[in-house]
Chains A and B, each alone.
Chain A
Amino acid sequence: MSIIVNFINTKVLPKILVFVNSKGIIAVKDGMLSILPLTVVGSFFLVIGQIPSKDINNFIASIFGEHWTEPFMQVYGGTFAIMGLISCFAIAYAYVKNEGFEPLPAGVLAVSAFFITSNSYVVAPISSEIIDNTVSKAWIGGQGMISAIIIGLVVGYIYSLFLRRNIVIKMPKAVPKTVAVQFTAFLPAACIFTCALITYALFKAFGQTTLLEAIYSLVQVPLQGLTDSLGGMIAIAFFISFLWWFGVHGQSIVNGIVTSILTANAIDNTKILAEKGYLDLSNGGHIVTQQFLDSFILLTGSGITFGIVFAMIVAAKSKQYKFLGKAVVFPTLFNINEPITFGFGIVLNPIMFIPFIVVPILSGLLVYFAFVIGFLEPFSGVMLPWSTPGILSGFLVAGWKGALLQAIILVISIVGYYPFFKKMDAIAYAKEQQEALAANS
């Protein structure tokens, strides 16, 4: 065991961490974090605009007229439906900010580059008529997500490169700094626009397509399919726990990589619902979305450590764990469990390895199959901050069925961790007895 642990710690983890610490991944993570208000708050308006009950809908329509949902769907149109574009801005911004330069111009340039590479017309769905001077919300929303990341990163990179090499227009000293700063972005802007133009021209000339469309079908669709599969779900659950067991923030790292794709899955779901009026697996609904991860796999914290907290309060013999149990009730409620992973001792603790990996995977399987048999409908509406307390979060994302599944997961956690907890508690108790004995003699 210790040989394997040592190998992973010295050979494998550093490589993963180099990747995780790379400027690109960090910029994507920071950028995606900044769009959280759009998804979380925007989702509540979407839910009001898409009340699943016909009776309630008809009732409200009888008062406010049948178009009463339209203003609410406007909020959807300005949040979820433009997520790609906003991400593009945020990622370029985050990249340049982390490089230590004034980031606002880079964000602005990224938005321009995004539009330069996109079509400036829409093909009408039935008549195939080309409508000029229009922007398709499909491509600035979820479908453009991966392109948005790529464009945001490339723009951020080019912009930083120009500033680092000091390839900027320099103004005479007499010019006030606030004015001079405006000129800084001119040369990088010229380069970025030219690159975007060439990109557009190349994709048109050789594929009769655009960067966005090509990336969508070649990269994003396969990635979305991958995360949405059973294997993808298990891999996500596994790596979060696995990295945490080595003392590395697995949730933050895995999220940095999958959040953009899981968010695209969630946006797909909302789009299907908004366009077709219903959503299930047969019309393209995705099972694994950000809600799946935040509200189920990370319930009470990475590794679903509720069972440990419960056992510490109910069954601990050692003073150490009795005390810790009381101390962690509050953070556990909000899905924070660093005091458990470090304080109870999960990190690098061979006793706790198995339940810490297995409990979240089992719970993920339970939820996954709840979708497959049709017990749950794909998550469409509410997106919650990951710190939303359990049961409540289940209820908000999936009604009573979601709350019930979370309750079952908590039971899985109690049962799964109990024998391992007993072992840990017995060790701690024996140590305390020995120390007491030594102190008395």
Chain B
Amino acid sequence: MIKIKLFCAAGFSTSMLVEKMVEAAKGQNLEVDIQAHSHANLRDYINDTDVALLGPQVGYALAKAKEVCDPVGLPVEVIPMVDYGTMDGQKVLEFALNLYKKKGE
């Protein structure tokens, strides 16, 4: 089970994307757990997450997020704007899985 967490301002708009990602994962029979949260609470989830993604609108907080995530080896990146805007669950899922693989290497 790979745990992916999406962080945006309040967790509302990413929760829509989460649904799309879950659908995409189901189509491929992937064992994933995907959730949306507010980036203010990132710290609370670092030990329970395999990949952290930031919405592009809070991309400015990436440096801060890295400070928190790097020490525990948690990969964190900003979701590409176009994939986010079009709510492309498949692409964002691939994006997350790639980050996860990279971490394993």
Residues of A within 8 A of B (CB): 17, 20-21, 26, 29-30, 33, 97-98, 100, 244, 247-249, 251-252, 324, 327, 331, 334, 336, 338-339, 341-345, 347, 387
The complex places the Cα of A441 from the Cα of B40 at a distance, in Å, of: 52
Q: Do A248 and B87 touch across chains, with their CB atoms under 8 A apart? A: no
Residues of B within 8 A of A (CB): 8-10, 12-13, 16, 40, 43, 55-61, 63-64, 81-82, 84-87
* CB of B47 to closest CB in A, whole Å: 12
Which listed residue, A97, A100, A244, A252, touches B58 by the CB 8 Å rule?
A: A252
Chain A residues within an 8 Å CB radius of B87: 327, 339, 343
Chain B residues within an 8 Å CB radius of A342: 56-57, 81-82, 84-86
The complex places the Cα of A234 from the Cα of B8 at a distance, in Å, of: 26
Chain A residues within an 8 Å CB radius of B16: 331, 336, 339
- Other 4 A-B pairs with CB < 8 A, given A252-B10, A338-B55, A338-B57: A249-B9, A338-B8, A339-B87, A341-B85
* CB of A344 to closest CB in B, whole Å: 7
* CB of B88 to closest CB in A, whole Å: 9
Q: Which chain A residue has the least Cβ–Cβ distance from B57?
A: A249
Q: Do A387 and B85 touch across chains, with their CB atoms under 8 A apart? A: no
Q: Which chain B residue has the least Cβ–Cβ distance from A344?
A: B85
| Dominant secondary structure of chain B at its interface with chain A | helix
The complex places the Cα of A370 from the Cα of B16 at a distance, in Å, of: 36
How many contacts between A and B, using CB within 8 angstroms?
A: 70
Of residues A21, A26, A342, A344, which shows the largest number of chain B Cβ atoms within 10 Å of its Cβ? A342
Q: Which chain B residue has the least Cβ–Cβ distance from A13?
A: B60
Q: Which chain A residue has the least Cβ–Cβ distance from B40?
A: A30
Which listed residue, A17, A98, A252, A347, touches B9 by the CB 8 Å rule?
A: A252
The complex places the Cα of A355 from the Cα of B101 at a distance, in Å, of: 43
Q: Do A247 and B43 touch across chains, with their CB atoms under 8 A apart? A: no
Chain B residues within an 8 Å CB radius of A98: 43
Which listed residue, B55, B60, B82, B84, touches A21 by the CB 8 Å rule?
A: B60
Contact A251/B9 with A20-B60, A21-B61, A33-B40 known, Cβ cut-off 8 Å:
yes
Which listed residue, A17, A33, A327, A338, touches B13 by the CB 8 Å rule?
A: A338
Q: Do A26 and B40 touch across chains, with their CB atoms under 8 A apart? A: yes
* CB of A339 to closest CB in B, whole Å: 6
Q: Do B55 and A248 touch across chains, with their CB atoms under 8 A apart? A: no
* CB of B24 to closest CB in A, whole Å: 15
The complex places the Cα of A345 from the Cα of B56 at a distance, in Å, of: 13
Contact A17/B12 with A327-B87, A338-B85 known, Cβ cut-off 8 Å:
no
* CB of A93 to closest CB in B, whole Å: 12
Q: Do B57 and A343 touch across chains, with their CB atoms under 8 A apart? A: no
Q: Do B13 and A331 touch across chains, with their CB atoms under 8 A apart? A: yes
Chain B residues within an 8 Å CB radius of A249: 8-9, 57-58, 60
Q: Which chain B residue has the least Cβ–Cβ distance from A337?
A: B13
Chain B residues within an 8 Å CB radius of A20: 60
Q: Do A339 and B85 touch across chains, with their CB atoms under 8 A apart? A: yes
Chain A residues within an 8 Å CB radius of B12: 331, 334, 336, 387
The complex places the Cα of A338 from the Cα of B86 at a distance, in Å, of: 10
Chain B residues within an 8 Å CB radius of A251: 9
The complex places the Cα of A219 from the Cα of B84 at a distance, in Å, of: 41
Chain B residues within an 8 Å CB radius of A100: 43
Which listed residue, A33, A244, A248, A343, touches B85 by the CB 8 Å rule?
A: A343
Chain A residues within an 8 Å CB radius of B59: 247-248
